[in-house]
């Protein structure tokens, strides 16, 4: 699986959009970009994933650059409950179970 | 849907004892479950992959005789930490994969403290 690079930490004011970047310059054509988050002392929570098109769900939007070497997770209106570590993971989506390799992630602190 | 539970949520034990942690998929069948370990201020590290009805596959450096994994049914996998020592104190997290969602869902984690 391709390696990802994320900033170690970010701050965001409550109510503002949080834009979390991820670099995955060695991504291959059939690898997807996945985002998970982990709130303190809890298990990770799936957020969103995509291959090359931008994706949106009730939690967030995922913007993938045209060359697919980087992506941005957008939380449109961050709240205090969005404070967590956000992990960007690149992996194949083969329809069978495959392990997830977690990097160090970005610690997002949402403040009043 | 796609809820994964773990029991217990936290456990404290004496050095040398064994501890069993259960991971259950509550509303779906999981052919594959994964076990992760997370030390303070570190990321999750995969310990092993468990397929229902077969032996688990352990990651390099993880002792299979110390961390016993049983996946006897499509909704339950157990991790037993045998002869636990203080260095085994960690946050243990399982995830369950379902072909229906083609996604992994994580349990809430079990915090193990070995005195």
CB contacts, 8 Å: B51 with chain A: 97
Helix (H) or strand (E) holding B46: strand B45-51
| Predicted confidence (pLDDT) at residue A2 exceeds the cutoff of 90 | no
DSSP A81: G
Strand B67-73's sheet: what is its strand order? B4-7, B19-25, B76-81, B67-73
Of A41, A96, A97, the CB nearest to B109: A41
- pLDDT class of A99 with cuts at 50, 70, 90: confident
**What pLDDT shows up at residue A7?**
97
pLDDT digits (tens, 9 = 90+) for B13-68: 999 999 999 999 998 888 899 999 999 989 999 999 998 888 899 999 999 999 99
**What pLDDT shows up at residue A86?**
98
CB B104 within 8 A of CB B49: no
**What pLDDT shows up at residue A82?**
97
| Predicted confidence (pLDDT) at residue B1 exceeds the cutoff of 80 | no
Report CA-CA distances (Å) from A37 to A11, A34, B87, B90: 15, 10, 26, 19
* Interface A:B, Cβ pairs < 8 A: 51
Residues A26-36 have a mean pLDDT of 92
| Predicted confidence (pLDDT) at residue A56 exceeds the cutoff of 90 | yes
Residues A16-27 have a mean pLDDT of 96
CB B25 within 8 A of CB B75: yes
Three-state secondary structure along B31-44? CEEEEEEECCCCCC
**What pLDDT shows up at residue B53?**
83
pLDDT digits (tens, 9 = 90+) for B70-93: 998 999 999 999 999 999 999 999
Q: Position of tokens 């298990």?
A: A43
- pLDDT class of A5 with cuts at 50, 70, 90: very high
Shortest CA distance from B108: residue in chain A: A43
Report CA-CA distances (Å) from A25 to A60, A91, A107, B6: 22, 13, 21, 36
With an 8 Å Cβ cutoff, the interface of chain B facing chain A consists of 4, 6, 31-32, 34, 36, 43-46, 49, 51, 91, 93, 95, 97, 99, 102-109, 111
User: Which of A100-104, B62-66, B100-104 is predicted least confidently?
Assistant: B100-104
Q: Which residues contact A99 (CB under 8 A, 6 or more apart)?
A: B34, B46, B49
Of B46, B97, B111, the CB nearest to A97: B97
**What pLDDT shows up at residue A96?**
76
* CA nearest neighbour of A104 among A90, A91, A89, A87: A87
- Residue of higher predicted confidence among A1 and A58: A58
Question: Whats the size of chain A, residue-wise?
Answer: 112
| Predicted confidence (pLDDT) at residue A94 exceeds the cutoff of 90 | no
Of B49, B106, B111, the CB nearest to A45: B106
């Amino acid at each position: 699986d391709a390696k990802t690079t994320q900033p170690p930490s970010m701050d965001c004011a409550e109510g503002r959009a949080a834009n979390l970047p991820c670099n995955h310059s060695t991504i291959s054509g059939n690898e997807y970009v996945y985002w998970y988050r982990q709130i303190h002392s809890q298990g990770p929570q799936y957020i969103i994933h995509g291959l090359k098109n931008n994706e949106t769900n009730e939690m967030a939007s995922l913007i993938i650059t045209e060359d697919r070497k980087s992506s941005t997770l957008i939380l449109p209106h961050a709240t205090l409950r969005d404070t967590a570590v956000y992990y960007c993971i690149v992996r194949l989506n083969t329809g069978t179970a495959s392990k997830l390799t977690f990097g160090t992630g970005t610690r997002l602190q949402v403040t009043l | 849907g796609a809820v994964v539970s773990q029991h217990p949520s936290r456990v404290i034990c004496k050095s040398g004892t064994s501890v069993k942690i259960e991971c259950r998929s509550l509303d779906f069948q999981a052919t594959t479950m994964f076990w992760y370990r997370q030390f303070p201020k570190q990321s999750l590290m995969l310990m092993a992959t468990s397929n229902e009805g077969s032996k688990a596959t352990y990651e390099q450096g993880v002792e299979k005789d110390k961390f016993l994994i049983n996946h006897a049914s499509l909704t339950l996998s157990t991790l037993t930490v045998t002869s636990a020592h203080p260095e085994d104190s960690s946050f243990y997290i399982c995830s369950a994969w379902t072909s229906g969602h083609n996604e992994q869902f994580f349990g809430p984690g079990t915090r193990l403290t070995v005195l």
